[in-house]
Structure 1
């Protein structure tokens, strides 16, 4: 499907991420780049040196300079990313000097280099806004809190200079509109990525010896995900449901070791299983094995990507009752609990004890995904945004 506004137009998409990896932002970047190419745009995707080389139809993949001493680049702010961003900027400048681009599509902190490149080369840029970075930075590094007004001003300047903003959730879209009301702003949520037909060879119950209810968390193990909270809740439940098992898919070796130690201290090591990362193509296979899917996130304004696949699986979802979840979830499609061990334990217990409630929530969740968070809905929103963007730019 090609659109008139995309005809013969080229986009430089800058994603300051290891690419490709099976985790949130790289998955979203892959989807977006492929769908822009499907609309008829010529897409050059510029990423970090680290990651697996993959083929995306209609997309040329470029990397910043290889830095042998920098690897295992994780999500979120880090000194490693700052160094990589310097080389990413130099590579972006080289690409612009040797190619003709109509737009720059800047993911996350690439907005700052995109704003500079836009001024220098007079190319409109789109801010792909996955979070409010100023707030996220302070949340992660509390010692920076006195500098939050400075970060907010810098981020606000970048939003005001963007020709358009793509936000991953309503709260972030509203924030962008409040700062740059004249620019097109689209809320382009993530979509259900679980493969309903995917099959694997790891039966979690058999492999791990779980005879009772199977609880599942999928995702990284950064602090904001609330794994501490989840393990505390398991501590509340261990005597009441001794046969229940919590399986955690994802996380680095370092994070897994840390939380295994915490599970031991909580006395739930025999009920909590950290199995590491699995290929995203097997996501549906693992989700369907669970009785309850859990998202215990405690910080952030963006909706976790996993939520859309959780909903699409038809398995009952339990999540913290915070804006990071409630801009998508309601009590019609999920069990929402306060972010306390007692409330989470009570929610898990309620869902374990009421299979009919689990079935009702799962059915309603699948209906919501099919209506609002499908691939076809994503494509329509993306096409409309770029059409509106092209119309808003004076030649």
Structure 2
């Protein structure tokens, strides 16, 4: 993943400024939020900002100009942190709060950019007189916690909503995943906010590696490939897609299913068993792949599937999908509708029957798929370029500086 020019004729606006990013996830890891954080760091580098990243102890090392990575300790010797809430993550968040205090005492920052629950930590540690705070709202905290039955009950949800309201109201600027802007404006109408539009990597448009990958995976050249990429959390709807495959593949011998994103081999094996031996010859379940291989998998696919069953935030991977020139099949839910339309994707009911019907339509109507694919690529060309993303990051940071100055002036006046 590489950056590019800022804008033709434009000068970087961050020279001499320093940002502190707080990312309570493994970094770098091939999953949604760390990918998004890396995009932001590369954009800040292109704009001339210096940046410190405070993050969890696990993850691969990356080198980005003018970026320093600080990792919290790992006294519990955790090997990984799963997506969503865990007590291990809670312990690492406590260490992140401690190290944030140390960094703020030792260095000057013009902006703090806090991802997800790190914004709550920053509101307590940073205080009202500190640098402007950008709340990077990748998902709604109450919605995320509600995925676990223990945290879906009223008392926990009430606390989560109060925490979310605090993060929103104390932020100088909110930048959120597509689909969350309405929630932000309802809960904190006076706080300036924008939605992310992430860039689609140029590599997503190449087909060169597809034949070799098809051979590597043992996929017959005559098979049409439906591909899902992402984690296998319940809200992603992989279970619905698996049931749709059972309904369709017994009579469609031209269809194969590739699922990419299992956390480890144990999870991949469990999904292979769930899909059953009768589908095994035409099903591949793979572990999460390096970012540089994503283009090969999307090039391999005839249909790209997003079977998500719930949520309001737009999946980051769909920005990549739009640029591929491949038809997208997605469930017709709020999260997808924030960007996708009937012109950009085939939207179907969020059910096994809906997904099965959508797959069959795209298999039987190649012209329809070609129209969707062309529209998606045109949308990506217009809206998802690297210069547009860098310009967005620049606008967000400049607006945060202005808003932060107003907040401090109002606090002084009070």
Q: TM-score, normalised by structure 1?
A: 0.94
1:151 partnered with 2:160: yes
Deviations 1:286-343 (A, max 9, x none): 2111111111011211111111111100011101000111111111011110011111
Matched position secondary structure for 1:288: helix
> Judging changes above 3 Å, is the alpha-carbon distance between structure 1 residues 278 and 143 closer, same or farther for their aligned structure 2 residues?
closer
1:20 partnered with 2:28: yes
1:255 to 256, 267, 275: 267
1:203 partnered with 2:213: yes
Offset of residue 9 of structure 1: 1.9
Aligned to 2:50: 42
> Judging changes above 3 Å, is the alpha-carbon distance between structure 1 residues 67 and 349 closer, same or farther for their aligned structure 2 residues?
same
Matched position secondary structure for 2:127: helix
Distance 2:150 2:332 in 1: 23
2:394 to 373, 377, 383: 383
- Paired residue total: 393
Which 5+ residue runs of structure 1 have no aligned equivalent? none
1:100 partnered with 2:108: yes
Moved over 6 A (4+): none
Aligned to 1:231: 242
Aligned to 1:277: 288
2:143 to 132, 135, 149: 135
Matched position secondary structure for 1:261: helix
1:161 to 170, 193, 204: 170
Moved more, 256-265 or 215-224: 256-265
2:123 to 115, 133, 158: 115
1:81 partnered with 2:93: no
Distance 1:60 1:379 in 2: 19
1:63 to 37, 58, 71: 71
Distance 2:151 2:76 in 1: 30
Matched position secondary structure for 1:73: coil
Offset of residue 3 of structure 1: 6.0
Distance 2:388 2:186 in 1: 25
1:345 to 339, 356, 377: 356
> Judging changes above 3 Å, is the alpha-carbon distance between structure 1 residues 251 and 73 closer, same or farther for their aligned structure 2 residues?
same
Distance 1:65 1:7 in 2: 31
Matched position secondary structure for 2:281: coil
> Judging changes above 3 Å, is the alpha-carbon distance between structure 1 residues 142 and 241 closer, same or farther for their aligned structure 2 residues?
farther
Matched position secondary structure for 1:250: strand
Deviations 1:16-58 (A, max 9, x none): 0111111111111111012122222221111101011110111
Aligned to 1:126: 134
Q: TM-score, normalised by structure 2?
A: 0.90
Matched position secondary structure for 1:65: coil
Offset of residue 256 of structure 1: 1.4
Distance 1:124 1:326 in 2: 32
Distance 2:151 2:389 in 1: 38
Distance 1:376 1:317 in 2: 25
Query: Conserved in 1, the CA contact under 8 Å of 2:171 and 2:191?
Result: yes
1:365 to 376, 379, 382: 376
1:300 partnered with 2:315: no
RMSD between aligned residues: 2.0
Moved more, 252-261 or 364-373: 252-261
